[in-house]
Chains A and B, each alone.
Chain A
Amino acid sequence: MTELLKLAGASETPLNLQRTDFISDQEVRWCPGCGDYSILFQVQSVLPKLNIPRENLVFVSGIGCSSRFPYYMNTYGFHTIHGRAPTIATGIKVANPDLSVWVITGDGDGLSIGGNHFIHVMRRNLDVNVLLFNNRIYGLTKGQYSPTSEFGKKTKSSPMGSIERPINPLCMAIASEATFVARSIDVDTKHLAATIERAARHKGVSFVEIYQNCNIFNDGAYKPISDKEVRADNMLYLEHGKPMIFGKDRNKGIRLNGIKPEVVTLGENGVTADDLLVHDENAEDPTLAYLLTQMNFPEFPVPMGVFRNVFKPTFEELTAQQLEVAQARGRGSLEKLLNSGDTWVIE
């Protein structure tokens, strides 16, 4: 249902845009081999499918490697300040709901300095697409641990190991009442493109955590799950309405044991597909979505795809509605306003 709604800023006539239409004249300056290249390529590939003219697209970012993204997009763009991209995006979207607004952020920008705004842009359900590039390290400041770095991580600023437990971005999004929550990874380009497209088509706030490799300061952070040979065994691709099956031989699944998920093998101990958890991304109740966020490697395969996809009125719609109600009997008259209240005349 949500995907039938008109996309903000989309044209009703075919525009026949190409990926290359979205490439700006600025030289891309990420390190060679950076996962950001893949994400940039996939976003530029997805945009033509949305049929949104370039002038109706705005990419807003904060600070960090990921936040250089808007410069490389031949659309409107705003490279703002550290952690505050959601606030600027809020002003833009409320001012003009007909724009397709994207927030590009990272694990430091979005979850550390910008953690507060992250919560509030989610709970307000502003119709923006938030792409969080999670490389579990501070790249632009040259390699300190980030809020998603694993406990014990040794970096320049934590030579004896980080003593902070990492935050789970998807949990935060769900706890903040986000209506669309998904995860993908830079190296699985097909899945990434599909996930970005679904996020873009969702009416309301869309949050996509993108596992992204920083080959300079945290190379191989996702290798154990993303390597082609192990990917099928170590990732669980979520599909709405389907039982949660994974593995090279498609013989493993996730079963609920009490309130805890467990990995089972199909055909062993009488386990069949009917015993497995069935994914329901549309569930109003966030419990299942939350449960999935708690499945961590290596105990579990890492879930990929759409965790949650529900429909709620958006912030900018409700803002506009209140203005409409207030103006139902006509727009205010400045003359009347200035002369309102108790007045008296001096001759």
Chain B
Amino acid sequence: MSSTAILGNTEEKIQEVTSVTVRFAGDSGDGMQLTGTQFTNTAALLGNDISTLPDFPAEIRAPQGSLPGVSGFQVNFSSMDIRTPGDEPDVLVAMNPAALKVNLPDLHEGGILIVNENEFIKANLDKAGYTSNPLTDGSLKGYRLISIPITDLTYNALADVEMTKRNKERCKNFFALGIVFALFDRPLEPTYRWIEQKFGAKPEIAEANRRTLKAGFDYADTTEIFTTHYRVRKASLPPGKYRKITGNEAAALGFVAAAELAERPLFYGSYPITPASDILHELSRLKNFGVKSFQAEDEIAAMGAAIGAAFAGHIGLTGTSGPGVCLKSEAIGLAVMTELPVVIVNVQRGGPSTGLPTKTEQSDLLQALYGRNGECPVAVVAPSSPSDCFNMAVEAVRLAVTFMTPVFYLSDGYIANGAEPWKVPQLSELPAMKQVLRQDPTGFLPYERDEQTLSRPWAVPGTPGLEHRIGGLEKQHRTGNVSYDPANHDFMVRLRAEKIARIANVIPDLAVEGDPEGDLLILGWGGTYGAIATATEELRRQGYRVSNAHLRYLNPFPRNLGDVLKRFKRVAVAELNLGQLNLLIRGMFLVDSVSINKVAGKPFKISELIARCKALL
């Protein structure tokens, strides 16, 4: 907790702090994601900058009380501009021994530790692998331990409510939430509103949740378990209207916005997969925008249907995660050959194979660039933060329709599920991309090229005079007829590559944060932006000549990338894989860059990036 001032009087101390990280942890069935989300929503509405990290197991309900069943939600809220959910929590709420065991190593020394002591019984301690009770054996003396019988107090609060014991117990996460609200002097109204919306039809459940929340708040307030309360003021973000948004929500909005801008209908074919399914859920609700969502029988069908829809004049979109991309790969090759505007969303997760479905990673970059048979180039973009998911979704569609090409959109589990404030854009700020379908049959050839973009005409079935046949066999230049001619194949392979290369003409240059030259450049891409930017900013504050640059366009690269790299004595590429971007940088620019890697299913911490950078300076 970084503090700026101490206010208050002797009776009730209120300490003003700039930035706080809270982690809620409990069993997968304890509602920790919901609790964290409610706390985040309130912080956002109060005008704090926020950044979140949900961290949950792949199992829906792992055995109760077990270590693999622990679910956590971390939120960093601040009066400053922040870009990450925080390295280590200042406050940890642990609803059972397993949650304590898994999360305690991350808690700051001296940090506030709130535990539900009712759960610290022998059976649960055994499941978590404790041989003695940490609440009483003195092992937690380095923390400000606040042990509360949350379950009992929840029952008490609901003593006169007609409800099963099981249902009463399920309210206990709101008791914990009430406690944390009290600690940070937060209002309950936003959560009351949410309860009303969610449980309006079930008044007894709504009432129980309201009461428990209030009971938790009052308990913390009146028992003076906290000698100090903390206050985090509004953040000084650029003026404008804001809303809290996750990366997957932003992506869905971005694709809908792009379709409106292109004035073409949006088709979304998808097969449910973690962590991409929320895009399917969001787009399925937006039928009033004419979005056609299709839950396919498998990943291949989802891709095939997107291609078919693109052939018929829709923006063909499919969304998945790495294993799904493997299945789609052959069809992506077909979309390259037939030059149709499709966007493939890959919300990356830990791999290989099924890997770590709910954890984040950036290990599908080379798959996106090269994971197909033949010379099969596609454009690749990668959002850098939850809110940037909106921008890059719009960009992906713009490139797809302008160049008649498949475009990969590489998000990751961290930014897809993470939330931050999003400054709602004005429609006038969004790029123009209105598409005109080919209508005129005069001189029509299906593989004729636009001189600038090398794109072929979008000629859709239903248009008289443009009847033509396309397919996966090599195309003769201009006519699109099947051709096995060696010289034509060589020409077409180069032409498809050149078309993608020309995308560099319509994307922004790479921006450098910090001095344009110096001792070290940290190059990153995708969802690692927040940690890299914060780490390098801190290093600059400490006097180091470190800059950072972040790639949101991975194929082609921005035109000035080579120049940027040359201006630094050293270049380090930070990424959550074993050096995939670094391989490209070294191979394409002959730069002796080094890798800063992590493949732990977790995002970079600011502190570890700072340490790794210092080792290079």
Contacts and interface: CB of A to CB of B under 8 A. Distances in A.
A and B held together in a complex: yes
Interface string A77-99: 11111001011111111111011
Given A77-B468, A323-B292, A339-B243, A120 B301 contact: yes
B307 A91 contact: yes
Given A334-B256, A334-B257, A343-B242, A78 B471 contact: yes
A55 interface: yes
B467 A54 contact: yes
A70 B471 contact: yes
A299 interface: no
Interface in A91-112: 91-96, 98-99
A24 interface: yes
Nearest to B290: A323
A90 B257 contact: no
Nearest to B190: A342
A337 B314 contact: no
A91 B311 contact: yes
> From DSSP, what is the main secondary structure of chain B's interface residues?
mixed
Interface stretch (A163-171, A249-257, A261-269, A325-333): A325-333
Contacts of A94: 267, 292, 294, 305, 308-309
Contacts of A297: none
Contacts of A26: 469, 481-482
A100 to B, nearest CB: 10
B257 A80 contact: no
Interface string B465-479: 111111111000000
* Chain B residues touching A, range: 35 or more
A96 to B, nearest CB: 5
Interface string A306-323: 000000000000010011
* Chain A residues touching B, range: 35 or more
Interface in B278-311: 286-290, 292, 294, 296-298, 300-311
B44 interface: yes
Given A94-B267, A326-B287, A335-B427, A87 B469 contact: no
Contacts of B41: 342
A338 interface: yes
Interface in B310-365: 310-314, 316, 330-331, 333-334, 338
Given A79-B469, A120-B301, A84 B314 contact: no
Nearest to A80: B334
Given A116-B297, A322-B287, A327-B288, A92 B308 contact: yes
A84 to B, nearest CB: 5
Contacts of A90: 294, 296, 301, 304-305, 308
A56 interface: yes
Contacts of B47: 344, 346
A99 to B, nearest CB: 5
Interface stretch (B232-240, B537-545, B577-585): B232-240
B287 A71 contact: no
A60 interface: yes
Nearest to B296: A87
Contact of A55 (B46, B240, B467, B469): B467
A117 interface: yes
A96 B243 contact: no
A74 interface: yes
B269 to A, nearest CB: 7
A80 B471 contact: yes
Given A78-B308, A84-B300, A337 B334 contact: no
A285 interface: no
B463 A91 contact: no
B210 interface: no
A55 B464 contact: yes
A229 interface: no
Contacts of B296: 87, 90, 120
Contacts of A74: 467
Contacts of B257: 334, 338
Contact of B305 (A75, A91, A341): A91
A342 B236 CA distance: 19
B290 A331 contact: yes
Most buried by A among B296, B309, B312, B330: B312
B287 A58 contact: no
B241 interface: yes
Contact of B316 (A77, A89, A91, A338): A91
Interface string A206-241: 000000000000000000000000000000000000
B297 to A, nearest CB: 4
B517 interface: no
B244 interface: yes
A96 B462 contact: yes
A287 B300 CA distance: 32
B234 A116 contact: no
12 contacts: A78-B311, A78-B471, A79-B471, A79-B473, A80-B334, A81-B334, A87-B304, A91-B311, A94-B294, A95-B308, A117-B304, A345-B240
- Nearest first, the 8 closest Cβ-Cβ pairs linking A and B are A91-B308, A87-B304, A79-B471, A326-B287, A77-B469, A95-B312, A91-B305, A91-B309
